[in-house]
Structure 1
Amino acid sequence: MTTTRPSTPDLPPVPGKRYFTISEVSELTGLTPELLHQWELASAPPGLAAQARPRRHYQHHEVLLVRRMRNALLASRPATTPAPATANGRLGASSLRAELASILAWLDI
């Protein structure tokens, strides 16, 4: 089994398997499952949209995409702004959509 090297030193390598549960993605990205679910509900890219099944599974490339989005979000925030995994309160759907759209535009996806 191959692994993908982390894009930041604080994240573990992504195992070379095809499907990941939301709790595994949470561990691999440093984001809470609740925040991942908010991203899904905020009309994230088609690959990250909430699935009709009760259990959400992410594919390997989607885990890498979430990590890129996390890194872009952290890079665009001032050092005094809390990280997404620890931010208090919930963002409104429109502000979350706008933030995700700006991240995706920055990533050129």
Structure 2
Amino acid sequence: MSELCAVKAHVLRYWEQEFTQLSPVKRRGNRRYYQHHEVLLIRRIRELLYEEGFTISGARQRLEHEAGVAPEPTPAAAKLALDVSGLRAEITAILKILD
């Protein structure tokens, strides 16, 4: 797992203590088995800490916020929504003319 996510094993163990969302199944010999959503979570934690410069507590807060709130639309998505609503208005106007 540490190779897959580019995070050392001792760092993963520390993150398991700090992030309650990260709780791999432990089997015989204390081996940990991570599910797909946990792999994605590890990658997100790594991104927040190493690439975006968050602290542990800041990353924890961001993850809690992301889990409880839908992500904000990107500027491109907002523009697309405006374009779609504009097209709807034009189509409605054309349909009224044709009736």
> Normalised by the size of structure 1, how large is the TM-score?
0.47
Post-superposition Cα deviations, 1:58-85, rounded to whole Å, max 9, x if no partner, equal 012211111112112223229xxxxxxx
RMSD: 2.6
Identity %: 35
Of 49, 66, 86, 1:73 maps to: 49
Query: For 1:43 and 1:70, how far apart are their aligned partners in 2?
Result: 12
Query: For 1:99 and 1:35, how far apart are their aligned partners in 2?
Result: 17
Give structure 2 stretches of 5+ with no counterpart.
68-99
Amino acid at match of 2:23: A
Structure of larger gyration radius: 2
- Higher helix proportion: 2
- Pairs aligned (count): 65
Q: More relative contact order in 1 or in 2 (CA 8 Å, sep 6+)?
A: 1
2:23 corresponding residue in structure 1? 49
Report runs of 4+ in structure 1 exceeding 3 Å deviation: 50-53
1:104 corresponding residue in structure 2? 63
